[in-house]
Amino acid sequence: MSQQPTEHVQCLIIGSGPAGYTAAIYAARADLKPVMITGMQPGGQLTTTTEVENYPGYPQGTQGPEMMEDFRKQAERFGTDIRFGYVTSVDFIGPVHKVVVDETTTITADTVIIATGASAKWLGLDSEQKYNGFGVSACAVCDGFFFKGQDVAIVGAGDTAAEEATYLAKLCRKVYMIVRRDEFRASKAMQHRVLNTPNIEIIYNSETQEIVGNGQTVSGIRIMNNESKEERTLDVTGFFVAIGHKPNTDVFKGWLNMDESGYIVTVPGSTRTNVDGVFAAGDVQDHIYRQAVTSAGSGCMAALDAERYLAAKEHVA
């Protein structure tokens, strides 16, 4: 397949969640004429979320897809050129950065803002996807409030699972923690915190077989003991998956510094990467907070960093 002629832009934004759209709003207002490549899931993880009640400015809450539509309209209002597509390769070897979209279109850019996010790891159950957003969640901080006073279950054995279980325990009547092996992977400090929380019940050597419900809401989960093969059903209204996230950074490997999990490493206090003119914002470089509001904040930072970089290089027209 022959490549189309190369197009050159001042600011290219890869990804379209809260970080990407906020970067676009700031970059467009700074007259950087940003071009955004949305990725295969325009709007990012929030488009799979129903109620969002913890983002400032929405006193009655909002729906995740509607919120991302608001972000998109605001970015377009200031002139962002939003294009549906997927980045298939990059070349960051020179001062001008080359990005190939859908294996056919080459764009060169003075600055690149990477906001490709991270994807939650799931168990792979059909029922898990069926009830995703309707009782199944990968973010206790985001959705725990909706299960106040109820019984819930969480699957996972690492620090994140332990932290989310103790968070849920403050809101929920009972938290079942499903651990696949006969021990935690979490740090000793986090293990002690879970073990000392009276309304958390740890179920070891067990795996979730199915989430059950009425087609609209969750009413329980069926689990199986890995040793005895005995099955039982837990009556819960919420099911949280905390087995980790995978940053969407494969296409940037070999070009950008990353940690052992694949998150892009940025210079502390900034969004700068190890490549001049390439910036990273949102969950793609944040494995700690992973909230829409923190992603939006870092998207703002990335656009300001890009603007200052261009000003210093005297590239701004």
Active-site annotation, residues:
139, 142-143
Which residue in 7, 217, 218 sits closest to 99, CA to CA?
A: 7
What one-character-per-residue DSSP string does 212-271 give? EESSSSEEEEEEEETTT--EEEE--SEEEE-S-EEES-GGGTTTS-B-TTSPBP--TTS-
Cα–Cα dist 298/20, whole Å: 9
Residue with tokens 């006969």: 182
Amino acid at 134: F
For residue 138, the SS3 value is: coil
Q: Which residue has the tokens 């092996």?
A: 181
CB contact at 8 A, 73 and 63: no
Cα–Cα distance measured from residue 83 to residue 160, given in angstroms and rounded to the nearest whole number: 35
How many of the other CB atoms lie within 10 Å of CB of 110? 20
Q: Under a CB-based contact definition with an 8 Å cutoff, are residues 307 and 32 in contact?
A: yes
Tallying the residues shown for the chain, one arrives at: 317
C-alpha to C-alpha distance for 107 and 90, rounded to whole angstroms: 10
End-to-end CA distance of the chain: 34
Residue 127 phi/psi, 5-degree rounding, is -70, -25
Other Cβ atoms closer than 10 A to 268:
6
